[in-house]
Amino acid sequence: MMAQVIIALGSNIEPVKHIEAALQLIEAQFNLLATSRFIETEPIGNKNQAAFLNGAVLISSEVDELELKNSLNKIEARLGRDRTQPKTGPRTIDLDIIAWDENITDPDVYERDFLKQAILELRPEFHEKF
């Protein structure tokens, strides 16, 4: 069955280059329905690093959540994501599933306004969830 999924994208190492590459790789594998605006955000946690470029995409997918997560991890690896670094450290690309069909799947959405804004751009009907 086809699911509608929102994937958050973030980068603070050559962010324009890595976001554009990630968008191309996502579009090559999945049906890209819409893309949010991308905005610059301050780092969370480790403040001693460059600002992030963050946004999200809405895709439709026939794969289950685990398979999609594995595909996103492969895209991150291809774009040089170093998983040995701290979770809040600098990264070439960060891809997270934040909504699956009618459900918010990442609790960070409730704490990070830029994620809420991206979801509402892509799925305005989600306003009732906030």
Phi/psi at 58 (5° precision): -110, 125
Q: What is the CA radius of gyration of the chain?
A: 14
- Please give the pLDDT value at position 45: 83
CA-CA-CA-CA torsion sign (95, 116, 108, 89): positive
- Output the six-digit token pair for 88: 């809040």
Residue 16, classed as helix, strand or coil, is helix
The residue among 129, 3, 130 whose CA lies nearest residue 66 is 3
pLDDT in tens, 68-116: 999 999 999 999 998 888 878 899 999 999 999 999 999 999 999 999 9
pLDDT in tens, 30-70: 999 999 999 999 998 888 999 999 999 999 999 999 999 99
The whole-model pTM stands at 0.96
Phi/psi at 77 (5° precision): -65, -45
Which of these CATH numbers, 3.30.1330.60, 3.40.640.10, 3.30.70.560, 1.10.645.10, describes 3-129?
3.30.70.560
- Please give the pLDDT value at position 103: 96
Instruction: Tell me the C-alpha distance between 10 and 115, whole Å.
Output: 10
The residue among 5, 126, 123, 127 whose CA lies nearest residue 63 is 5
- Please give the pLDDT value at position 130: 87
